[in-house]
Structure 1
Amino acid sequence: MSSAFLADVPPRPQAASGAFLAALAIAQMGAFLAFMPLLTILAPLKAAAIDPGGKALILAQVGFWGALVAGGANILAGALSDGTHSRFGRRRPWLIVGAVGTAASCLVIMRAHTAFGLVGGVLLFQLCLNLMFGPLVALLADQVPPAQRGRAAGFIGLAPPAGAMTGALLVGVALPQEGVRYAVVAGLLLAAMVPVLFLARETPTGPRIFRLARPHRLGTRRPFRLTRDFAVAWLSRLLIQAGITIVSLFTLFNIQDRGAPPGGLAPEALLGLLVIGSSLVQIAASLAGGFLSDHLRRRKAFVLAAGVLVAAAATLLAFSADWRLMAGAFAIFGAGYGIFTAVDAALITEVLPSDRDAGRDLGVSNLANTLPQMFAPVLGAALLQTAAGYAWLYLAAGLAAASGGLLILAIRRAR
């Protein structure tokens, strides 16, 4: 094999084209279009249909085991793509395998009629989604130079709100038939991955179609080295993401348990409208946060602001019984979520322990996204058993988000 295929240190990325940044954002939107409706609407609805009285416990099992698989799969996918040799590059083969598997797993979830079947379908979904998502995130570090990462992350930060908004509109409002919902989600995911597969400037890493590095070569790769700033950024992301996950995961149950929604809307339709409004705010905040953080060359102040905004929204939800105040809280939540997704993604690439193993290290950083999906459902199921269940639940979310925002100030390598 040519020595060019065995270079330890990847070349410094050149300026990324607008077309590639758009393709990267679209691919991320497809991933979130598959994931967000599953988290906020499809899995809660399926849990409630399987056992209305035990829906919170079923959702806790789905969240815990799904997140456990997601965290491991994301690290594995990053490491495997780092060591992949193919004529199509390191990341592209895994993007294809993960996207096709994720689309197929939607059918498995749709056909689940027991708690065991639902958990199994979600495990397959999380495995395949993260086999795709790990290499997709690594493309930001591979192909976008640091000076462009704020605006790139701003566009990528459009993915959660755009995915959530489209998913809420289709799944919660426009498509009442269950089979059509899942089919549309799977089809849009596959379509969204096509542009980045063609536009990614992946250098061939071997003459064959596909081959993993030999086990002994993987064993000689530099071991993961935990640095202080990476640890701080990781814990900050974990705490803010915990607040975001709690708010996102239990809103449908909150609407169901409040009584009849205004205007005779179905609970999932009202949630869809709230998510759409929040997502519009999130899109504007994501773009503004990404561009401003590049222009000012500062990231930490924006992450702090994001944590405070998410905390304010959660606190408002904890003490508000009015539907209009709930809508206002979701607008504030969207602003904090948008700033966070844009700027935190750029900041984490600036404190990675190793440029050579960016896929693996970003997989480790993604644990801060998946771990809250493990403990948030368990915490929520426990707190909902108390007399002031939703109040305590949202206060816990606010405390976590505010703590994560303040913690980011301890980073030294980034401003």
Structure 2
Amino acid sequence: MPAVDAPAPRQSARFLYLYALAACGGSAAYVPFLTILLPLRVAEIAPGGSLHLMARIAFAGAIAASLGNIVFGWASDRSQRRAPWIAAGLVLSCLLLAAMPSAPGGGWLICLIVAWQLALNLMLGPLAAWAGDTVPDSQKGLLGGLLALAPAAGALSGALVTWQGLVTAEHRPVWLAGIVAAMVAPLLVLGRPRPMPQLMAPRALADVAAHASLRAVWKMWLARLLVQVSEASLFAFLLLWLRQLDPAIAEHRVAALFTAVLAAAVVVALSVGRWSDRHDRPIEPLAACAAIAASGLLIMTLSRSIAPALIGYVVFGLSSSVFLALHSTQTLRVLPQPQHRGRDLGLFNLTNTGPSLIMPWLVLALVPRYGFPALFIVLTVLAASAAIILALMARAGRATKFPEPA
């Protein structure tokens, strides 16, 4: 009788769902605070200089987040344990978040933000690496689909803590910290992932294969950066552009559009992620999403009225959200060595923090002189470039599989 290959080990559904819930907690930790609560606090502290203070906070926070994610990812690599780092980051970030209303001035607020960003990435860096330690390639598409829940959870958390009459302004960060803890703690207490030693064993790569792997890493990194710059630019300036087309459009209509796109992205990402798992084709969906995102931006470039503008944004927002969710897990395929997974994911995290440094200068260089269509043309080129990079990568068949661990 010929030998029958044993089925590839799979991670438990319980761990996958609890991990997705913890990722939602990570999103809830910073999305409502940075987009709603922090600007309100800045307006209270510096009513005449809120834009200047927000710019300083954004710059200092992005630097702290970038360094913290790399350093703490590397530290969790060295310790070969993720959960203690995640727990420490959860406790510290929640305490610092709750302390934000006590900042007496702009300088203290900047210091608190820097400390909070470091603590938050003490949690997020090892959390991202834990997925690489525990989730096999055959389930990475599913996990990527589940991670599409995270942006929606961040938006819903913000709506909850700002619900009129539910929580007073000074208690909102405390409530938000409680929501984050309730989402992340179950993973630490109940997760108990099945061991995946094949995901942790050092890989013996030949020099040529190692070189090809490095090229794949940089292609994935660059493709995400290009899409993230486009996404960050629209996230910050969408309302301003829509009000140029229709001054009467209400902010609640735009907020509802954001929510609808994020909700639809969950369904689409789960379907596409499962398809990529079944067919073992992880890169093609990413290339397709980037191409569709570019088409949405092109529609926005050509729009001169509100209806096609909203259609263009829905096309872009849906495809870019699916792209970012799936890319987060498929990146784990191309990282060449498990013993450096946390550090390498910290370097990939620069694609998340870097756009906040790039985007304001890009917008200021183009919009005042040439208008929003010029910005959208540049963003279309960026998204289309990401699609081309990934399509060529998929065609070559590189970086989707590695040799068996030594």
TM category, shorter: 0.7 to 0.9
Mapped contact 1:95–1:136 kept (Cα < 8 A)? yes
Residues of 2 paired with 1:134 and 1:258: CA distance?
A: 40
Residues of 2 paired with 1:400 and 1:245: CA distance?
A: 13
Mapped contact 1:60–1:377 kept (Cα < 8 A)? no
**TM-score, length-scaled by structure 1:** 0.79
Q: Provide the residue aligned with 1:169 in structure 2.
A: 159
Equivalent AA in structure 1 for residue 25 of structure 2:
G
Q: CA deviation at 1:394?
A: 3.8
2:391 to 404, 409, 413: 409
Q: Deviations over 1:322-364 (max 9, x none)?
A: 5544543442233213321332123211110202222222222
Q: CA deviation at 1:107?
A: 3.4
Q: Is 1:285 equivalent to 2:264 in the alignment?
A: no
Q: CA deviation at 1:60?
A: 3.6
Residues of 1 paired with 2:303 and 2:47: CA distance?
A: 25
Alignment gaps of 5+ in structure 2 = 1-7, 196-209, 402-406
Q: Deviations over 1:79-131 (max 9, x none)?
A: 1111226xxxx111111111122222323444557554443333223211111
Q: Provide the residue aligned with 1:195 in structure 2.
A: 186
Q: Is 1:246 equivalent to 2:246 in the alignment?
A: no
Quick one: structure 1 residues 138 and 200, their matched pair in 2 at CA, closer, same or farther if it must change by over 3 Å?
Answer: farther
Aligned-residue identity in percent? 31
1:361 to 337, 344, 351: 344
Q: Is 1:15 equivalent to 2:1 in the alignment?
A: no
Residues of 2 paired with 1:390 and 1:51: CA distance?
A: 30
Q: Is 1:344 equivalent to 2:327 in the alignment?
A: yes
Quick one: structure 1 residues 359 and 60, their matched pair in 2 at CA, closer, same or farther if it must change by over 3 Å?
Answer: same
**TM-score, length-scaled by structure 2:** 0.80
Residues of 2 paired with 1:46 and 1:319: CA distance?
A: 38
Q: Provide the residue aligned with 2:148 in structure 1.
A: 157
Residues of 1 paired with 2:376 and 2:46: CA distance?
A: 24
1:77 to 69, 72, 77: 72
Q: Provide the residue aligned with 1:32 in structure 2.
A: 27
Mean alpha-carbon deviation: is it higher for 175-184 or for 289-298?
175-184
Q: Is 1:148 equivalent to 2:130 in the alignment?
A: no
Mapped contact 1:244–1:310 kept (Cα < 8 A)? no
2:124 to 111, 118, 133: 133
Alignment gaps of 5+ in structure 1 = 1-12, 205-223
Residues of 1 paired with 2:258 and 2:215: CA distance?
A: 36
Q: Deviations over 1:356-404 (max 9, x none)?
A: 22222222222222211222234334545x1445444444333322222
Quick one: structure 1 residues 240 and 139, their matched pair in 2 at CA, closer, same or farther if it must change by over 3 Å?
Answer: same
Partner SS state of residue 83, structure 1: helix
Q: Provide the residue aligned with 2:57 in structure 1.
A: 62
Quick one: structure 1 residues 60 and 128, their matched pair in 2 at CA, closer, same or farther if it must change by over 3 Å?
Answer: same
Partner SS state of residue 354, structure 2: helix
Mean alpha-carbon deviation: is it higher for 375-384 or for 362-371?
375-384
Partner SS state of residue 338, structure 2: coil
Residues of 1 paired with 2:387 and 2:104: CA distance?
A: 41
Mapped contact 1:234–1:368 kept (Cα < 8 A)? yes
Instruction: Provide the aligned C-alpha RMSD in A.
Output: 3.2
Mapped contact 1:78–1:138 kept (Cα < 8 A)? yes
Q: Deviations over 1:9-49 (max 9, x none)?
A: xxxx9421111100000000011112222343334445556
Aligned length: 374
Residues of 2 paired with 1:19 and 1:152: CA distance?
A: 12
Mean alpha-carbon deviation: is it higher for 27-36 or for 295-304?
295-304
Residues of 1 paired with 2:366 and 2:167: CA distance?
A: 31
Mapped contact 1:168–1:273 kept (Cα < 8 A)? no
2:378 to 391, 396, 406: 396
